[in-house]
Amino acid sequence: MGRTPHPAPLGHQRLVAEAPLAALRRLWKARADVGDPWQYSNMHSNSELGSGMGSDSDVDALAQLVADAESVSDAARLAQIREVRVLAAAGVLAERQAAGASEQVKAREMALRGIAAELAGVFVATDRTLQRRIDEARDLVENYPVTMTAWEAGRIVRGHVRLIQEMGCLVPVADRAEFERVAVERCEGERPNRVRDALRMIAERIHPRTFTERHEEAAAGRAGAGRARWDVGPDRDLADGDRGWDC
């Protein structure tokens, strides 16, 4: 389904990529024309030092900062994707090591523990946390290909990915591709914390549930609220929908 796209946020990469210096100059001029208080106060303060914030040198410096930030953001996104694929591969390796065992579930668990123990030191996490992250990464790579493709293309960010995977738990596998397509489209141009309810509504529309099912899901969610699947560190923002979940 289509929708009218929201305006790109200030400093969005598409605006900067088109003409960084010219675009930023237009933005500075627009702020000055409407009497933006922040812009005025900075220009006034800097004028006392002999240089206004609207000068060409300041705009050039800001354009470079935006370009650098965009480069760092792209590099971080690619590193995050690589991490997910590495963890997913670890899960595949554990299953392969358990192949042919008389008790495959137990054998896989033992193999996964050994692999997680080796990776835990690298990721500075507990073995148990790594096991959960490996399972989640494999689920993402194998069951959410549309989401992974959109993430790799830079159409969505990690917070969106986590929300899509979380809400995707509510949708049967047969309907997952449709959910992904609509969810990715809804996420583009929006911050993750602003699309959570919308993604839940999309999942509900694609796979309606009874009141009892919703009640049981809410109870299960409360019971597992403390079991986050992803580590939360300085670069993991819960406000942007970057949290763990259990399916």
Domain boundaries, the chain: 151-247
The answer to whether the pTM exceeds 0.95 is no
Question: Mean pLDDT for each consecutive 10-residue tract of the chain (247 residues)?
Answer: 48 46 60 49 44 70 92 94 97 89 83 93 92 95 96 96 94 94 96 95 87 59 42 40 45
- pLDDT attached to residue 29: 59
Give me the helices (H) in 99-210, please: 104-123, 127-143, 145-152, 158-168, 176-187, 196-206
- pLDDT attached to residue 106: 85
Report how far residue 151's alpha carbon sits from residue 163's, in angstroms, rounded to the nearest whole number: 13
CA 93 to chain centre: 26
Q: Number of helices (H) and strands (E), helices first, in the chain?
A: 11, 0
Report how far residue 184's alpha carbon sits from residue 179's, in angstroms, rounded to the nearest whole number: 8
Count CB neighbours of 140 within 10 A. Answer: 23
Residue 191 backbone class (left: φ over 0; alpha: ψ -120 to 50; beta: rest):
beta
